[in-house]
Structure 1
Amino acid sequence: MPSRQTLIAITNHLHPARLGTYTSRCSNDPLRALELYRWNLELSAAFQQVLAVTEVALRNAIDGQLQLWNASQPHHTGSGAQHTHEWLSDPARPLNSLTKGSRVRARDHAQDALTARDAGHPRHGVAPTHDDVLTQLTFGVWTKLLPTSDTSDRNFRGREVLWKDALQHAFPHRKGDPDGYGVASRTARLHALRNRVSHMEPLLDVHVKARHNDALRLLGAMSPEVRDWCSGISRVIEVDRNCPINR
């Protein structure tokens, strides 16, 4: 059991405002609040593992289909030329407008990573590749490319076109989701969860089983094998069972 001095030090360094959420759930008992905070850290770590697998799989599945689609699109100049598979540097419509700001930021971050490499790095001085830029795109980018049921969304038509012509093929094992709204909704919920986890926010009101299921269903829509592997290594449900309070 931590001493009073230790409790004071932890509270001061983690800040009372951060611990206040946990304290209020534990009838102002500082020891129970600290245990609940520790549990939240464990749940965040467990979710981070699942989210990491989901994000990488999602990114690569979408990238693969966008490369194929982009290379099949005629250039908007009407010259008869085709776009290349390099959709991050030569995007066809409507992908160009849907990703403009994101692509610029990703290229800048990839260039910053290049500049930061020391002389001994095996890729020192090597210009950023497609994959380098791709890995700099955030989870949120994919939520804005997937379809939406909101017809007032200014990109509604562009997102619908991308889904029908390209992105639906990134999820060949989805069931009963022809418009992609199920895939899009799960992706949006996981994006929100990822932000909470990354910012070390409380997960006390998160529907843990539902979000875990979102990740597994999204993975299953891409690859049942990856879903089963991720499910096998996931600790989310086990950690959730060990929550020190009733939620």
Structure 2
Amino acid sequence: MPQSKTTALIAQSLHVSRFGTYATAAGGDMDLALRLYLWNIELAGAFHSSLGLLEVILRNTIDAELRAWNASQSQPDGTPYPPEWLIDPARPLNTLTASARKTATQNAVKARAARPASHPRKHAPITHDDILAQLAFGVFVRLLPTPDSADKTHRARQVLWQEALIRAFPGSRTDSDGHIVADRAGRLLALRNRVAHMEPLLGVNATARHRDAVRLVGSINPDLQGWFAGVTRVREVARERPDTQ
């Protein structure tokens, strides 16, 4: 089959609502549009792997500090809360995470039910770590401070930052209010959602978003920043974008 017919068939299969973005960017050159589409898939894959790694690092550093913070809080009767903040959180963490904890717990129960009968934890009680593994990236981003004083969670997030989460980012010494960390995390969350839904990345500044990820990792642990920058392929793939000039 001639290449032009193959390209037309692929474009038809992908539908104009999706492929049209690339055709427009390519000025109607369908072969170039297809190369752009395939490049977009490769860039999304590069971002997916690096953002997945970042998510685990971010989740674990926040969890460690929230465990310590929760255990330092006292219940009304004077007894301390447990470290397991996803099971018995102190205020304001309880209100900030109520919906997310409920959903994550339900998903943890479903994950346990899906385990094969031979699984060693088939009938084990749901633990803090089981729930933690089910939390979405956005949950952690929305625990970080917001400069929007009109946001109903503004004060709670500010308190949580000052009392706990600032210690999760020792490499961000000049970011006392946490807004730089939160901005980077917010941009990366938006990117992650685009990547997860295979949306076009043609208008994304891949270099800037890669820099956000590297610097966010560096704010968590400066010793990991160079390693993280070296294991991602984002910059390499970004440079391979087909010419649309």
Q: TM-score, normalised by structure 2?
A: 0.96
User: Which residues in structure 2 correspond to 1:93-242 (within 5 Å)?
Assistant: 93-242=91-240
Letter in 2 for 1:13: S
Q: Tell me, in whole angstroms, the C-alpha distance in 2 between the residues paired with 1:225 and 1:43.
A: 26
CA contact 2:25–2:244 (8 Å) conserved in 1: no
Q: TM-score, normalised by structure 1?
A: 0.95
2:22 alignment counterpart = 22
Letter in 1 for 2:39: W
1:45-89 per-position Cα deviation (integer Å, ceiling 9, x unaligned)? 1111210111100000000000000000011xx211111101001
1:1-46 per-position Cα deviation (integer Å, ceiling 9, x unaligned)? 9634422332232222110000001111111100000100111111
CA contact 1:114–1:127 (8 Å) conserved in 2: no
List alignment gaps of at least 5 residues for structure 2. Answer: none
Letter in 2 for 1:14: L
2:62 alignment counterpart = 62
Q: Tell me, in whole angstroms, the C-alpha distance in 1 between the residues paired with 2:51 and 2:191.
A: 9
Q: Tell me, in whole angstroms, the C-alpha distance in 1 between the residues paired with 2:32 and 2:49.
A: 26
Secondary structure of residue in 1 paired with 2:89: coil
Q: Tell me, in whole angstroms, the C-alpha distance in 1 between the residues paired with 2:108 and 2:12.
A: 38
Q: Tell me, in whole angstroms, the C-alpha distance in 2 between the residues paired with 1:172 and 1:88.
A: 24
Q: CA deviation at 1:225?
A: 2.4
> Paired residues, what number?
245
- Runs of 4+, deviation exceeding 6 Å: none
2:43 alignment counterpart = 43
Secondary structure of residue in 2 paired with 1:120: coil
Q: CA deviation at 1:246?
A: 4.5
